């Protein structure tokens, strides 16, 4: 039946009617708040490219995590800025490393808050790449298989420190299976893996690299992160991670890849996380600061759109603000 019998505006007439037929609801319970914990600072240090987000000491991270939880955000995602870096990234699996210490402190203060730890080497390597670098002359390669052992070792250290979920973000082939095997071998079979399954080599990570001090010293990450043009390959990446034992799969970034969120959700039927990344956050903040966008309305529309596309979980720097607005 068409117009004039059919009039879609009938159900848009009032706030109550619109609410009754709303298909997607945004809830603080679906959000994850990322945080940057830094070694050797005793106060908050603002990250210029990401207004409202700071480098945190462990004590401030405990406060900030508690604040997020009080607003109804059930989980935080931790990144670390370590005391030092080396060729291998050994700070990643140091049981007294910055993320391990922060995880213990946060879990002690807020036992019911879910602590997800990012699992990668790039914040800990002197060269800033996500794996073992082999250099021949001016050429370099990130060597896949030797990296797997280091990631597996890191996953055990993080889980032992109390991480509720480990989240490998490196994009090495076979890492999920290696991490699953290591966790199981060490009696950590109950620790879930949230894999950054379909992670693009994206321009939208720019502000994060300042925040995590993880820009590669040479080259770029296009030999391991995905080509933004490839949708079928993104699905293959997600399927492989599911086969290897991932419990949750991620699409990163979110906004240029809403189609992949939908495809991967429909295909895998897995719990799906989308990472609304630093560049997406910084764009909204910059436009809002210039009076070009209503920040609150824009953020809630963006997060709803990511949920509507098929994401069950949205990782976002807007989490605390959004949770406050949703109250």
Min dist CB 114 to Zn ion, Å, is: 22
Min dist CB 15 to Zn ion, Å, is: 45
Q: Map 78-131 to HEC letters.
A: EEEECCCCECCCHHHHCCCCHHHHHHHHHHHHCCCCEEEEEECCCCCECCCCCC
Please list the alpha-helical segments (H only) found in the chain.
15-20, 58-70, 98-109, 144-160, 175-185, 206-212, 231-244, 258-268, 278-289, 295-309, 319-326
Nearest 5°: phi and psi at 130? -90, 5
Among 26, 32, 56, 130, binds Zn ion (CB under 5 A): 130
Select which of 85, 107, 199, 320 is catalytic: 199
200 is a contact residue toward Zn ion (CB under 5 A) = no
Min dist CB 263 to Zn ion, Å, is: 25
Q: Which is nearer to Zn ion, 107 or 252 (CB)?
A: 252
Select which of 252, 265, 285, 320 is catalytic: 252
92 is a contact residue toward Zn ion (CB under 5 A) = no
78 is a contact residue toward Zn ion (CB under 5 A) = no
* Contacts of Zn ion in 24-43 (CB under 5 A): none
Q: Which is nearer to Zn ion, 142 or 302 (CB)?
A: 142
Distance between CA 113 and CA 71 in Å, rounded?
12
Distance between CA 70 and CA 122 in Å, rounded?
31
Min dist CB 291 to Zn ion, Å, is: 36
Distance between CA 220 and CA 231 in Å, rounded?
21
Site string for Zn ion, 217-236 (x = CB under 5 A): --------------------
Give the interface segment with Zn ion, choosing from 51-59, 93-101, 121-129, 133-141 (CB under 5 A). 121-129
Give the interface segment with Zn ion, choosing from 26-34, 68-76, 116-124, 290-298 (CB under 5 A). 116-124
Give the interface size with Zn ion as a residue count (CB under 5 A): 3
* Contacts of Zn ion in 257-276 (CB under 5 A): none
Cα distances from 210 to residues 5, 36, 81, 193, 306, in angstroms, run: 56, 11, 11, 26, 25
Q: Which is nearer to Zn ion, 58 or 130 (CB)?
A: 130
Min dist CB 123 to Zn ion, Å, is: 7
**What does the DSSP 8-state code read for residue 221?**
S
Residue with tokens 């079979």: 189
Q: Is 199 a catalytic residue?
A: yes
**What does the DSSP 8-state code read for residue 271?**
-
Q: Which is nearer to Zn ion, 39 or 265 (CB)?
A: 39
Side-chain half-sphere of 111: how many Cα atoms within 13 Å? 1
Among 62, 75, 119, 120, binds Zn ion (CB under 5 A): 120
Q: Which is nearer to Zn ion, 168 or 192 (CB)?
A: 168
Min dist CB 119 to Zn ion, Å, is: 9
197 is a contact residue toward Zn ion (CB under 5 A) = no
CB atoms within 10 A of CB 321: 16
Residue 138: CB partners within 8 Å, gap ≥ 6?
none
122 is a contact residue toward Zn ion (CB under 5 A) = yes
Six-digit token pair at 218? 């040479």
Active centre residues (catalytic): 199, 252
**Interface residues with Zn ion (CB under 5 A)?**
120, 122, 130
């Amino acid at each position: 039946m068409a117009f004039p019998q059919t009039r879609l505006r009938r159900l848009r007439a009032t706030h109550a009617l619109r609410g009754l037929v709303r298909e997607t609801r945004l809830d603080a319970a679906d959000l994850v708040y990322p945080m940057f914990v830094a070694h050797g600072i005793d106060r908050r240090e603002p990250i210029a490219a990401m207004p409202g987000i700071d480098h945190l000491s462990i004590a401030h991270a405990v406060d900030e995590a508690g604040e997020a939880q009080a607003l109804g955000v059930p989980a935080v995602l931790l990144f670390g800025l370590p005391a030092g870096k080396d060729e291998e990234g050994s700070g990643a699996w140091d049981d007294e490393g910055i993320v391990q210490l922060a995880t213990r402190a946060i879990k002690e203060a807020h036992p019911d808050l879910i602590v997800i730890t990012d699992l990668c080497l790039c914040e800990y390597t002197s060269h800033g790449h996500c794996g073992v670098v082999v250099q021949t002359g001016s050429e370099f390669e990130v060597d896949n298989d030797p990296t797997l052992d280091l990631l597996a070792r890191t996953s055990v250290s993080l889980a032992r420190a109390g991480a509720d979920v480990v989240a490998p973000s490196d994009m090495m082939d076979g890492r999920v299976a290696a991490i699953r095997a290591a966790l199981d071998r060490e009696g950590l079979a109950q620790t879930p893996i949230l894999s950054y399954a379909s992670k693009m080599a994206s321009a939208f990570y720019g502000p994060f690299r300042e925040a995590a001090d993880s820009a590669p010293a040479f080259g770029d990450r296009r030999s391991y992160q995905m080509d933004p043009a490839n949708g079928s390959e993104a699905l293959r990446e997600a399927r492989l991670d599911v086969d290897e034992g991932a419990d949750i799969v991620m699409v990163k970034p979110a906004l240029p890849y809403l189609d992949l969120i939908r495809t991967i959700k429909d295909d895998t039927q897995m719990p799906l996380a989308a990472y609304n990344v630093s560049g997406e956050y910084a764009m909204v903040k910059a436009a809002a600061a210039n009076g070009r966008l209503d920040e609150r309305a824009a953020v809630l529309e963006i997060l709803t759109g990511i949920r509507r596309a098929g994401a069950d979980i949205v990782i976002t720097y807007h989490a605390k603000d959004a949770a406050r607005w949703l109250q």
